[in-house]
C-alpha cells in the first residue's frame, strides 16, 4: 500500500514498513509531476530505506544486496532492477537510502499496454538480502616456502549432506610435517 503526502513538490509515496534480516525497511516512490506531465517526460524514482534507525546502536552499519521491482499486472511478471553485479550497499546513519533515480520513465509506466498502472493502481516491491558480519575470521599463512605439490580431497554426495555433517581429510604431507583438513556444516 502506498501513501501520498500532499504538499510535496513531487508526489511521494512511502510503502508500509517491512522487516528483513532483523531490520525495518520501506520503499519510497517519487512520481515527478505525474498529474501535470502525462506526456512521458521524467522518470519514476524508487529507493529502499532502512527505517527505525534510532533503535540501532551508535555507529551502526548494515550491508545489503537488494532488488526493486514493479509488477506488470497484465502478464503477472516483474520488471526488476538491481545494481550491476548485485553490488553490496552500505546503509549507515549518513546514508539510509539507496535506489534508482530513473527506475522507469513516466511514459512507460503510464502506458496501459505495459500493465504497470492498471485502474489507477500499481504494485512496487523489494527483495533484500542482509549480509551480517560475525566478526570472526581465520587466516592461513605459510612460515616457509610452499611445497610445489597439490592434493585433491573429494567430498562425495555433497548435495545430500545433512545439516550437521563433519568430515576429515586423510593426512597430507607438508614441509613441516602432516596436516588434515576438516569440513563441517553448521
Sketch out the chain's domains with CATH numbers. 3-131 (2.60.210.10)
81-128 tens-digit pLDDT: 887 778 899 999 999 999 988 888 888 988 999 999 898 889 999 999
Q: Greater confidence, 126 or 153?
A: 126
How would you classify the pairing of strands 182-184 and 166-168? antiparallel
C-alpha–C-alpha distance, residues 109 and 68, integer Å:
15
pTM, entire model: 0.64
Helices vs. strands in the chain: H and E counts, helices first: 1, 14
163-173 tens-digit pLDDT: 555 566 667 76
The beta-carbon contacts of 20-26 under 8 Å, at least 24 apart in sequence, are 20/128, 20/130, 21/62, 21/64, 21/128, 21/129, 21/130, 21/132, 22/130, 23/50, 23/51, 23/62, 23/130, 24/50, 24/51, 24/52, 25/49, 25/50, 25/51, 25/126, 25/128, 26/51
Distances (CA, A) of 36 to 10, 115, 118: 11, 21, 19
Q: Which of 6, 7, 27, 5 is nearest to 16 (CA)?
A: 27
C-alpha–C-alpha distance, residues 45 and 100, integer Å:
6
The mean per-residue pLDDT over the stretch 132-158 comes to 67
The mean per-residue pLDDT over the stretch 49-75 comes to 95
Amino acid at each position: 500500500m502506498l501513501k501520498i503526502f500532499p504538499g510535496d513538490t513531487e508526489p511521494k509515496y512511502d510503502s508500509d514498513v517491512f522487516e528483513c534480516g532483523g531490520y525495518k525497511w520501506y520503499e519510497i516512490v517519487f512520481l515527478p509531476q505525474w498529474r501535470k506531465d502525462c506526456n512521458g517526460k521524467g522518470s519514476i524514482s524508487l529507493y529502499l530505506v532502512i527505517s527505525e534507525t534510532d533503535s540501532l546502536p551508535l555507529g551502526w552499519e548494515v550491508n545489503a544486496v537488494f532488488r526493486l521491482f514493479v509488477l506488470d499486472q497484465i502478464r503477472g511478471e516483474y520488471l526488476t532492477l538491481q545494481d550491476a553485479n548485485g553490488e553490496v550497499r552500505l546503509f549507515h546513519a549518513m546514508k539510509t537510502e539507496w535506489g534508482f533515480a530513473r527506475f522507469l520513465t513516466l511514459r512507460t509506466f503510464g502506458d496501459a499496454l505495459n500493465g504497470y498502472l492498471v485502474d489507477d493502481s500499481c504494485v512496487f516491491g523489494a527483495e533484500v538480502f542482509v549480509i551480517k558480519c560475525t566478526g570472526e575470521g581465520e587466516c592461513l599463512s605459510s612460515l616457509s616456502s610452499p611445497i610445489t605439490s597439490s592434493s585433491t580431497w573429494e567430498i562425495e554426495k555433497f548435495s545430500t549432506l545433512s545439516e550437521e555433517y563433519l568430515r576429515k581429510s586423510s593426512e597430507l604431507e607438508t614441509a613441516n610435517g602432516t596436516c588434515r583438513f576438516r569440513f563441517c556444516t553448521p
